[in-house]
């Protein structure tokens, strides 16, 4: 799954290029940097690889979401619809720009249920933010149609699905803007980093300034730049970009390995009729970082997780339903609006409203779902063993619980 599994001499070479000039910043110092522009080079490679017009690198995936929201004009008084199953960064970004996160149910795609999105639209809704969780995609045709009908902005959090596609288009390049994370456990890594991708020039120009103190990058030097609006510092460093530049060249290889290992593991689980799989709106576009599968009931799922743990083979199998990070049921800090700085009272009330909101439709999905992370370095033998072990555990539990579906 993560690119760090293949860290090697290519990354070291790119980083050394930067260390030899000593220019660790992505802007300026045109003479001393001797033609080394790793961040610019990586942005070009991202546009080429993913087929988007513009890419703005930043310091993290969270910074990318925050920058995209700033660039799309999302802030006070706006509601952003996002799924109940996501990484906390998605809502951190919404709250940080002063907008209201509105969580809605996921369906068996593990992403936004389009009908739940429709039901959540109010006059304040400004943006729909699908999160392409665990390597695979949301139903983009349905969500795009909703955005068009209601004049809403579409922002894709594609941080977990680098290289995935939907009907031939790369995830993250379909909406008004999309983001990747290059943190240490993502499909390709910069150690820390992220990117805003867009086909809208206005969004790109705004992202470029927003992530660098509002600099317009038009002056003869930084001191001569103008500041058309207030920005922040979400810059990536040349060292981080250098790592990413080596990694992006390995992406096709990572994806090919993931696809192969994913299909072998899926084949093994298919032998159990009680196991079903995540619905994938465009099966051929799955980046295959995870295999996500369902058991018939919550009780059986708990028992399978307990048995995996007892046999010491739980690692790499994620039961998000009880995980503190990824599912709404455990986000107590969100539901209590526990922030260090004060929030606008309207925002605070709207955030706290989630403490009593009904997520039973999401619970019915997430309580039965396990995602198995797909390794890049597994040998054929290890892969075979993993499949056999999983199948044996599931069959044992089903036998013990005498489940029939």
Ligand X SMILES: *Cc1c(COP(=O)(O)O)cnc(C)c1O
- In the complex, least distance from residue 219 CB atom to ligand X, rounded to whole angstroms: 30
Among 90, 109, 111, 207, binds ligand X (CB under 6 A): 90
Is 13 annotated in the active site?
Answer: no
Closest residue to ligand X, Cβ-based? 61
Distance between CA atoms of residues 68 and 179, nearest Å: 8
- The verdict on 232 binding ligand X (CB under 6 A) reads no
Instruction: Give the residue carrying structure tokens 């961040």.
Output: 39
**How many residues of this chain bind ligand X (CB under 6 A)?**
14
Q: Which one of 120-128, 155-163, 256-264, 266-274 is the stretch in contact with ligand X (CB under 6 A)?
A: 155-163
- Pick the closest to residue 344 from 98, 123, 97 (CA basis): 98
| Dihedral (CA of 2, 192, 86, 209) sign | negative
For residue 149, count CB atoms less than 10 angstroms from its CB and return exposed for 0-12, middle for 13-18, buried for 19 or more.
exposed
Is residue 4 a contact residue for ligand X (CB under 6 A)? no
Nearest to 321, CA basis, from 370, 367, 359: 367
Please state the closest distance from residue 62 (CB atom) to ligand X, in A.
3
56 near ligand X, judged by CB under 6 A: no
With a CB cutoff of 8 Å and minimum separation 6, the contacts of 182 are 61, 188, 189, 190, 191, 192, 193, 194, 195, 240, 244, 247
Catalytic residue among 126, 170, 186, 386: 186
Contact with ligand X (CB under 6 A) among 14, 43, 79, 183: 183
Q: Name the residue among 272, 263, 268 with its Cα closest to residue 295.
A: 272
Which residue among 66, 160, 261, 371 contacts ligand X (CB under 6 A)?
160
277 binds ligand X (CB under 6 A): no
Q: Which is nearer to ligand X, 160 or 393 (CB)?
A: 160
* Residue where the block lists tokens 């522009």: 37
What does the alpha-carbon distance between residue 150 and residue 72 come to, in Å, rounded to a whole number?
16
Could you say which of 159, 255, 265, 280 contacts ligand X (CB under 6 A)?
159
| Distance in angstroms (rounded) separating the CA atoms of residues 34 and 44 | 19
Nearer to ligand X, 49 or 160 (CB): 160
Q: Which of 78, 79, 113, 157 binds ligand X (CB under 6 A)?
A: 157
Residue (106 or 131) nearer to ligand X, CB: 131
Instruction: Read off the tokens for 344.
Output: 């606008």
With beta carbons less than 8 A apart as the criterion, state whether 197 and 61 touch.
Answer: no
The reply to whether 101 sits near ligand X by the rule CB under 6 A is no
Give the residue with the Cβ less far from ligand X, 87 or 232: 87
Least distance between ligand X and beta carbon 61 (Å)? 2
Minimum gap (Å) between residue 185 Cβ and ligand X? 8
Minimum distance, C-beta of residue 379 to ligand X, in the bound complex (Å) = 28
Closer of 89 and 117 to ligand X (Cβ): 89
- What are 15's strand-pairing partners? none
Active-site residue set = 186
Binding residues for ligand X, per CB under 6 A?
60-62, 86-87, 89-90, 131, 157, 159-160, 181, 183, 194
């Amino acid at each position: 799954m993560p690119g760090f599994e293949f860290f090697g001499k290519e990354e070291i070479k790119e980083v050394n290029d930067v260390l030899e000039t000593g220019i660790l910043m992505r802007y300026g110092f045109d003479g001393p940097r001797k033609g080394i522009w790793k961040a610019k080079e990586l942005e070009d490679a991202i546009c080429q690889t993913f087929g988007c017009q513009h890419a703005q690198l930043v310091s993290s995936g969270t910074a990318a979401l925050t920058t995209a929201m700033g660039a799309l004009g999302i802030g006070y008084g706006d509601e952003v619809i996002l799924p109940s199953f996501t990484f906390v960064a998605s809502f951190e970004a919404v709250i940080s720009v002063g907008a209201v996160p509105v969580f809605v149910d996921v369906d068996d795609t593990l992403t936004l249920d389009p009908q739940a999105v429709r039901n959540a639209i109010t006059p304040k809704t400004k943006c729909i933010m699908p999160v392409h969780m665990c390597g695979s995609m949301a139903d983009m045709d349905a969500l795009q149609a909703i955005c068009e009908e209601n004049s809403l902005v579409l922002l894709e959090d594609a941080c977990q699905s680098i290289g995935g596609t939907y009907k031939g288009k790369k995830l993250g390049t379909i909406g008004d803007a999309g983001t990747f994370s290059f943190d240490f456990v993502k499909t390709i890594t910069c150690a820390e980093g992220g990117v805003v991708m867009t086909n809208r020039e206005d969004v790109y120009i705004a992202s470029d300034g927003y992530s660098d103190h509002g600099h317009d990058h038009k002056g003869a030097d930084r001191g001569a730049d103008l500041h058309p609006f207030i920005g922040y510092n979400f810059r990536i460093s040349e060292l981080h970009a250098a790592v990413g530049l080596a990694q992006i060249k390995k992406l096709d290889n990572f994806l090919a390995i993931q696809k192969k290992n994913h299909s072998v593991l899926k084949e093994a689980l298919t032998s159990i009729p009680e196991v079903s799989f995540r619905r994938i709106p465009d099966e051929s576009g799955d980046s295959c970082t995870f295999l996500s599968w369902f058991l018939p009931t919550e009780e059986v799922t708990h028992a399978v997780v307990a048995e995996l743990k007892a046999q010491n083979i739980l690692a790499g199998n994620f039961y998000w339903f009880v995980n503190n990070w990824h599912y709404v049921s455990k986000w107590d800090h969100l539901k209590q609006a526990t922030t260090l700085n004060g929030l606008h009272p309207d925002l605070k009330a709207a955030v706290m409203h989630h403490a009593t909101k009904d997520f039973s439709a999401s619970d019915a999905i997430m309580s039965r779902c396990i995602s198995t992370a797909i390794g890049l370095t597994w040998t054929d033998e290890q892969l075979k063993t993993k499949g056999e072990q999983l199948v044996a555990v599931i069959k044992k539990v089903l036998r013990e619980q005498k489940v029939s579906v």
